[in-house]
């Protein structure tokens, strides 16, 4: 092999990191801008092991224990656990510590696929609660309290519920109502708050899951706070949860060589927002307010409002909707990156999601503002077809056991798969909300939706056999794993 063939990843990272670009995506430290100079300079020197005085994450009784206690205090938790594998590991630890094999649990169907993986791993049976759909914005929105109440009434044997709040678009589920109804019948409420780690630090953000009564909540610090990728925290909010059991579950799912850099970055983020959050977020949100006012005059592009269908929305999550224009969300994200050097977090057929954090300054926000105004002037008006997510959440899911999930499937062309049951999780990534869960029957609408997403340029996990459409892949070659009939 030639020397450069050994370094494809580093070459790509050097190229991307070397670009003068605006990062409207995670991680929340935005290329280190959210770190102090001294923290940034020391980071590699902090990559140590369990030396004397540095404690042990699996048996914390020294500095790590004190750091986790300070974190718990800042977030109003009874106990907080540092996670080194993102919210994914916290979601798995919540499921493992709260439920037994065979337990039935209410699950918001628009959950992240790490929840589905956790259900398969620990053989927990989901009772899906379907999200709603907003026609005007062509956006999947959280299920309301009534939907959860109905699901609980029809399934009194469930042991608890797991809900996503906020979702990728910043929309918050009715957590406090949900906590009330779950606790009234002696059940647990777990919240995937991966996108809401910053909520605790300004009164201008929606209430946190813990302050709304959740028994546990998991947060990806790396998404919205200045912390390294994979940094996350699992909080215990009530005495209904046994802390010793959670500690064991977290330990089972965590490396025995935890990164001190990641742990230090969790502490850094917590210390920064804990001491200065109200002031810093006050400034950020004031600036975003000016941008929102200015952009409300756009003709075709629209900003998703900070409250939708009565659900609060994270005001720092900027979502631009293209439904009234002649371009898709994917097109808008491509135009922004290729012509303006602005990289969004995510695009779908009708929206582009931008993550703003305390690491963003005037330069980044005004560049986003100016470019959106300019693009709005250039694009045409148009009404495009309705997005089909509103019909494809069937809910008819028979979750396979772990072994069948891993072993028993055959691959067939996606376009010929109608009527089969999906063997795997099929999801555009991001956002990682499954179009198909294992055991769900594949409909014409699923095939139409997945085909459209593929042709529009989405990266779809769970389909194989063809490269990305933009690299010349053919829809006809796309394969999907199905359960044998």
Ligand X SMILES: Cc1ncc(COP(=O)(O)O)c(C=O)c1O
Q: Which residues are near ligand X by CB under 6 A?
A: 86-88, 112, 114, 164, 168, 192, 194-195, 220, 232, 431-432
**Is residue 168 a contact partner of residue 318, using CB atoms and an 8 Å limit?**
no
Which is nearer to ligand X, 86 or 329 (by Cβ)?
A: 86
Which is nearer to ligand X, 232 or 397 (by Cβ)?
A: 232
Tokens 């999780």 label which residue? 425
Tokens of 355: 């993550």
Q: State the Cα–Cα distance between residues 307 and 285, nearest whole angstrom.
A: 15
Which is nearer to ligand X, 365 or 460 (by Cβ)?
A: 460
At 80 the three-state DSSP class reads strand
Query: In the complex, what is the shortest distance from the CB of residue 115 to ligand X, in angstroms, rounded to a whole number?
Result: 7
Query: In the complex, what is the shortest distance from the CB of residue 348 to ligand X, in angstroms, rounded to a whole number?
Result: 13
Question: Using CB atoms, what's the residue nearest to ligand X?
Answer: 86
Query: In the complex, what is the shortest distance from the CB of residue 270 to ligand X, in angstroms, rounded to a whole number?
Result: 16
CA-to-CA dists, residue 365 to 28, 93, 269, 362, angstroms:
15, 37, 21, 5
Count the Cβ atoms, other than its own, within 10 Å of residue 14: 10
Tokens 């499954």 label which residue? 434
Which is nearer to ligand X, 94 or 295 (by Cβ)?
A: 94
Tokens 């519920």 label which residue? 161
Query: In the complex, what is the shortest distance from the CB of residue 294 to ligand X, in angstroms, rounded to a whole number?
Result: 29
Query: In the complex, what is the shortest distance from the CB of residue 166 to ligand X, in angstroms, rounded to a whole number?
Result: 8
Count the Cβ atoms, other than its own, within 10 Å of residue 469: 18
Query: In the complex, what is the shortest distance from the CB of residue 267 to ligand X, in angstroms, rounded to a whole number?
Result: 18
Which is nearer to ligand X, 230 or 369 (by Cβ)?
A: 230
Q: State the Cα–Cα distance between residues 223 and 356, nearest whole angstrom.
A: 10
Which is nearer to ligand X, 25 or 302 (by Cβ)?
A: 25
Tokens of 217: 């909540």
Greatest CA span in the chain, whole angstroms? 66
């Amino acid at each position: 092999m030639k020397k450069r063939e050994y370094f494809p990843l580093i070459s790509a990272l050097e190229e991307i990191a070397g670009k003068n670009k605006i990062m409207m995506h995670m991680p929340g430290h935005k290329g280190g801008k959210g770190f102090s100079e001294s923290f940034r300079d020391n980071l590699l020197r902090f990559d140590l092991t369990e030396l004397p005085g540095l404690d042990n994450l699996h048996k914390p009784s020294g500095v790590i224990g004190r750091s986790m206690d300070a974190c718990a205090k800042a977030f109003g938790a009874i106990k907080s656990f540092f996670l080194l594998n993102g919210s994914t590991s916290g979601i798995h630890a919540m499921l493992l510590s709260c439920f037994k094999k065979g337990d039935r649990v209410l699950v918001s169907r628009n959950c992240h696929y790490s929840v589905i993986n956790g259900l398969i791993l620990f053989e927990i049976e989901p009772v899906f609660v379907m999200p709603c759909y907003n026609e005007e914005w062509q956006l999947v929105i959280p299920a309301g309290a009534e939907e959860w109440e109905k699901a609980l009434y029809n399934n009194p044997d469930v042991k608890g519920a797991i809900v996503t709040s906020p979702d990728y678009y910043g929309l918050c589920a009715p957590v406090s109502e949900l906590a009330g109804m779950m606790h009234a019948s002696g059940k647990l409420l777990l919240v995937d708050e991966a996108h809401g780690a910053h909520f605790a630090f300004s009164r201008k953000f929606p209430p946190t899951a813990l302050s709304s009564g959740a028994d546990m909540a998991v947060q990806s610090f790396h998404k919205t706070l200045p912390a390294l990728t994979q940094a996350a925290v699992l909080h215990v909010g009530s005495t209904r949860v046994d802390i010793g059991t959670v500690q064991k579950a977290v330990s089972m799912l965590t490396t025995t060589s935890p990164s001190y850099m990641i742990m230090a970055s969790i502490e850094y983020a917590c210390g920064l927002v804990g001491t200065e959050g109200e002031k810093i977020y006050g400034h950020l949100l004031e600036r975003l307010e000016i941008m929102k006012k200015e952009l409300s005059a756009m003709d075709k592009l629209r900003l998703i409002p900070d409250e939708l269908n009565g659900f609060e929305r994270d005001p720092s999550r900027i979502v631009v909707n293209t439904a009234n224009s002649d371009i898709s969300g994917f097109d808008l994200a491509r135009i922004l990156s290729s012509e303006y050097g602005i990289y969004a977090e995510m695009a779908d057929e009708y929206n582009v999601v931008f993550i703003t954090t305390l690491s963003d300054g005037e330069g980044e926000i005004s560049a986003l503002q100016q470019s959106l105004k300019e693009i709005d002037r250039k694009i045409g008006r148009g009404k495009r077809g309705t997005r089909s997510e509103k019909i494809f959440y069937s809910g008819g899911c028979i979750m396979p056991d772990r072994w069948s999930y891993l072993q028993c499937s055959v691959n067939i062309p996606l376009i010929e798969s109608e009527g089969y049951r999906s063997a795997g999780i099929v999801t555009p990534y991001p956002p990682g909300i499954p179009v198909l869960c294992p055991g769900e029957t594949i409909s014409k609408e699923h095939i139409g939706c997945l085909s459209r997403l593929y042709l529009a340029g989405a990266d779809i996990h769970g389909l194989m056999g063809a490269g990305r459409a933009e690299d010349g892949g053919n829809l006809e070659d796309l394969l999907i794993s199905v359960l044998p009939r």
